[in-house]
Amino acid sequence: MVDYIYLGLYKFFGFILRVLPRDIMIKLMRAISWFAYSVSKKHQKIIHTNLDIAFNKSLTQKEKKDYGVSAFMNLLDTTLGIIQRSKMSKDDIIKNVTFEGEEIVKKYQDAGKKIIFITGHQGNWELLSQAIAIKFNLTLVGVGRKLDSELMDKILKKNREQFNVEMVYKKGAMKGCIKALGQNKAVGILVDQAIRPKHSIEVNFFNHPATHTPLASILSRKFAIDLIPAFISTDDYKNYHIKIYEPIKTIKTDNQEEDLAKLTQLQANAMQRAIESHPKEWFWMHKRWKNTKENIYE
């Protein structure tokens, strides 16, 4: 029953996205985001706590609210964008997307080298993966969590795959990524979420300890693959810009633990720089420091 409620909402928003002009849709999205932020005291607490940690309690209450509403806006833009793009052509998807640093990816492609992208829940991250796959004519395999709804997970899988984006789930992610790299597919890994301590590497993130996924670091070191940071941003939710940064060069010495720690910290640094460049576009409602700051979100 719940699956069909989700399906009904999916079709409803698909209809709304088709009939409403983009300017009106953006205003509606902002209204929904403001409402979501206002009524969810739980998420307000998480957002404000994260902002206090990241910006050393330097933001005013109004600024925190602006960041919070924007966080919901980006989440809504990402979610609704999946629905909207299901009816679009590849050319239409990247029509309003500009790229910076595209020569970095092409250099690796021309040399026949394997590619691992690292990114985070910054801006419209679903559009990021599809746009990269289309722009560089590659198959991009991402790591994600399976949706609770089996029906919606199948729909999302179909939407992604029509634009050469495939998924492997977190359980079995290492095996799935190794298989993808062996098939000369690119891999994309989101590196900004809190990971259980026993499965993570601790990094310095906004001058505070945080747990970080070691997946990209392990793959980089094991297979001698550089890591390419890529992030997406927007000023108006109509036009989007993808910035591809200089690669994080792979490291392999006799000290595996130290190598992985260095590679992982460099990823955290890249993620922090991206957030600092566009701070209102990050997923501030995630409990990023929950594993290193006990009871901070209670």
Whole-structure pTM value: 0.94
3-state secondary structure the chain: CHHHHHHHHHHHHHHHHHHCCHHHHHHHHHHHHHHHHHHCHHHHHHHHHHHHHHCCCCCCHHHHHHHHHHHHHHHHHHHHHHHHHCCCCHHHHCCCEEEECHHHHHHHHHCCCCCEEEECCECCHHHHHHHHHHHCCCCEEEEECCCCCHHHHHHHHHHHHCCCEEEEECCCHHHHHHHHHHCCCEEEEECCCCCCHHHCEEEEECCEEEEECCHHHHHHHHHCCCEEEEEEEECCCCCEEEEECCCECCCCCCCHHHHHHHHHHHHHHHHHHHHHHCHHHECCCCCCCCCCCCCCCC
- pLDDT score, position 1: 60
| Half-sphere exposure at residue 252, Cβ-oriented, CA atoms within 13 angstroms | 10
Q: Mind listing the pLDDT tens digit for each residue in 146-171?
A: 776 777 778 777 888 888 999 888 78
Q: Which comes out higher in pLDDT, residue 290 or 86?
A: 290
- pLDDT score, position 2: 66
Q: Mind listing the pLDDT tens digit for each residue in 20-42?
A: 999 999 999 999 999 999 999 99
Percent of the chain with pLDDT over 90: 81
- pLDDT score, position 124: 97
Lowest mean per-residue pLDDT among 4-13, 36-45, 257-266: 4-13
- pLDDT score, position 3: 67
Handedness of CA 193, 104, 96, 10 (dihedral sign): negative
Q: What is the mean pLDDT of residues 273-277?
A: 97
Q: Mind listing the pLDDT tens digit for each residue in 107-157?
A: 999 999 999 999 999 999 999 999 999 999 999 999 887 776 777 778 777
- pLDDT score, position 205: 98
Lowest mean per-residue pLDDT among 113-117, 172-176, 183-187: 172-176
- pLDDT score, position 74: 96
Assess whether pLDDT exceeds 70 at residue 202. Answer: yes
Lowest mean per-residue pLDDT among 42-46, 79-83, 112-116, 209-213: 79-83
Lowest mean per-residue pLDDT among 8-22, 69-83, 234-248: 8-22
- Domain ranges (residues) in the chain: 2-281
Of 283, 276, 291, 292, give the one whose Cα is nearest residue 56: 276
Q: What is the mean pLDDT of residues 51-67?
A: 97
